[in-house]
Structure 1
């Protein structure tokens, strides 16, 4: 009886301390995991905004387009300093590449323009990068975190006794928590 009480006491201490220590990691992985689960509707790394508008002035064709004219088109967007290069993928369509991944697409015949602004998502992007294992040092910490989660799980399983523990409601919840992922693995 004393041995089992001692084991439960230490499992509570270990469970509590490791839970506090790894709480930040659990939140980072949980939040970025939700975003990554919805990658088809939200880009976790970049925010992309599109602006469609019409240029009213007459534009030169491919032969007449030069760097100075491109820069004047970028000035109203505040992107003149970010121009890297321009080219014509089609006879009447010019594409301008900007630093950071933004771009401008202009139909020089009709004046129709589409500006795509690409900006990094600082917090969510950084969290998502951790999911992709950014380097060897992170591998070591992620492995320690994984071992910590195993210890937290095992200490949680043995912490309670009686109807709320492994032989009661806790055991039913444990089995359900194991069966649900297994069902998804086998049937989906």
Structure 2
């Protein structure tokens, strides 16, 4: 049996082997994506008590930036001691004691996959993965002959997927 070196057959082969290669990466991305959905909850998070020496006399906004707590609001002031929801800050000494919730180390590394910026080495993995997924989109149209009913139904499912995404983006 001889194999024809056609674009159709080549795309199927590339799709197949790239799919096997990316199966592990896709599983990791899927798990980390599911965890990221719950990032604004306490799911899997543990409380951690921190003490940090900061610059004295910070405003609430500057304090929030320094200890990486968004929308920090001072709830009470007693002398130099300022209290906020997560802890306290001594405006005279600059000492801050506060509680944060953190993910376990391995889960934190997994979720970092989605947050990688161009300054991070994971940037290259993200770009490779994105380009590979786009190749999957394109090469999937070579999995079946264009005149078959499966191909035509596949086009309807593709259109439905695009429409669903657009609708969800608009909501």
Is 2:42–2:101's contact at 8 Å kept on the other side of the alignment?
Answer: no
Is 2:15–2:136's contact at 8 Å kept on the other side of the alignment?
Answer: yes
Change (3 A) 1:37 1:5: same
Counterpart position of 1:27: 27
Look at both structures and tell me which one has the larger radius of gyration over its CA atoms: 1
In the alignment of these two chains, the number of paired residues is 134
How far does the alpha carbon of each residue in 1:71-109 deviate from its partner, in whole angstroms, 9 at most, with x for none? xxxxxxxx9xx9778xxx759xx9699xxxx96xxxxxx
Q: For residue 46 of structure 2, give the secondary structure of its aligned residue in structure 1.
A: strand
Unaligned runs of 5+ in 2: 54-76, 90-96
- Asked if 1:127 corresponds to 2:126, the answer is no
**Aligned pairs for 1:145-164 within 5 A:** 145-161=129-145, 162-164=148-150
Q: For residue 47 of structure 2, give the secondary structure of its aligned residue in structure 1.
A: strand
- Asked if 1:173 corresponds to 2:168, the answer is no
Deviation of the 1:170 alpha carbon: 0.6
Aligned Cα root-mean-square deviation (Å): 3.6
TM-score scaled by structure 2?
0.60
Name the CA distance, whole Å, in 2 between partners of 1:158 and 1:5.
14
TM-score scaled by structure 1?
0.55
Show structure 1 runs of 4+ deviating over 3 A: 82-85, 94-97, 116-120
Name the CA distance, whole Å, in 2 between partners of 1:47 and 1:7.
52
Deviation of the 1:141 alpha carbon: 2.3
Q: For residue 48 of structure 1, give the secondary structure of its aligned residue in structure 2.
A: strand
Name the CA distance, whole Å, in 2 between partners of 1:28 and 1:172.
29
